[in-house]
């Protein structure tokens, strides 16, 4: 008897957790359409939509917001945080050439170019300048 009561309790808990997740899902027509929409499109040659491609270098804020923020936003692995003079002053004391070299080629936990392998050296310098402006 005890074994079947335990099995009944396990089955009841499993049923409630499945039912609870189904009730928590948004069942509106818009939400359902969003969940089941295709993840891509197929085009015949020549029918594909035109996609605008950015030309020219990205500004420091764009590079920072796309690549650098992951570590420099919170100080992961001692990365100097955006606009934090205490974090940046020992690095700036070594000079901008050393700082640029470390950012471009990697240093300690920082990978080369912060893993932005399609960034130019100028874009990396722009990101550095964005992070230290106002110090």
pLDDT bracket for residue 10 (50, 70, 90): confident
Residues of the chain with pLDDT > 90, as a percent, come to 57
pTM of the model: 0.61
Torsion of CA 61, 67, 73, 75, to 10 degrees: -140
Alpha carbons 38 and 41: distance in angstroms, whole number: 7
Q: What is the pLDDT of residues 30-78, one digit of tens each?
A: 988 888 988 888 888 888 777 777 778 999 999 999 999 999 999 999 9
Q: Mind giving me the DSSP string for 35-91?
A: HHS-S-----TT-SPP-----SPPPHHHHIIIIIHHHHTTTGGGPPPTT-HHHHHHH
3-state secondary structure of 29: helix
């Amino acid at each position: 008897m005890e074994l079947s009561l335990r099995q009944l309790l396990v089955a009841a808990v499993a049923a409630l957790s499945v039912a609870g997740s189904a009730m928590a899902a948004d069942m509106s027509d818009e939400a359902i359409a969003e969940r089941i929409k295709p993840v891509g499109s197929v085009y015949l040659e020549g029918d594909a939509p035109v996609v605008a491609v950015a030309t020219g270098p990205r500004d420091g804020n764009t590079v920072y917001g796309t690549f650098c923020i992951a570590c420099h936003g919170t100080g992961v692995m001692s990365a100097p945080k955006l606009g934090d003079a205490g974090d940046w002053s020992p690095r700036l004391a070594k000079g901008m050439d050393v700082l640029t070299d470390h950012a471009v080629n990697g240093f300690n936990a920082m990978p080369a170019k912060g893993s932005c392998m399609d960034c130019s050296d100028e874009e990396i310098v722009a990101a550095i300048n964005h992070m230290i402006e106002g110090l």
